Amino acid sequence: MKHLLALLICGVMILGSSCRDGQREETGPSQMERVLAIHDEVMPKMGELSKLVGQLKERVDTGQGGEPYEKALKDLQGAHTSMMDWMKDFGDRFNADEILNRAALSEEKQQWLDQEEENIQAVKERINSSMARAKALLSEKE
């Protein structure tokens, strides 16, 4: 159920970002759009991340990997969880009108958006770094 909710939120965000392209103002993207752009940059990597989890898990389960593989596997799983948690938290904090239509944010929600921008940047870095380490580790043994 948690994953279904996360996928639904993701779908709404992607649909919303594609629908808004024709409505951009000349002042550049809003903070909400920047946050969603980071999400949209990282989300397509989740499939590859899952594939890497499978490859590492196979080596760990068969005893071929040892501690470096176990650590890399935990890092990837943690990165995946951080993305799912971020999407859920983001969806809990903001409604569709705020996400899709640039509805004005209260002062409290603006502070939340500032936090969410930092959070999604950290998620991006965690995903990218854990995937890079996993790829390097898997390529050593080939």
Residue numbers of the domain that contains 29: 2-140
**pLDDT of amino acid 141:** 60
- How much is the average pLDDT of 81-107? 95
**pLDDT of amino acid 61:** 87
Count of CB atoms situated within 10 Å of the CB of 36: 23
pTM over the 0.75 mark: yes
* Tokens linked to 29: 């993207």
Percent of the chain with pLDDT over 90: 71
Number of domains in the chain: 1
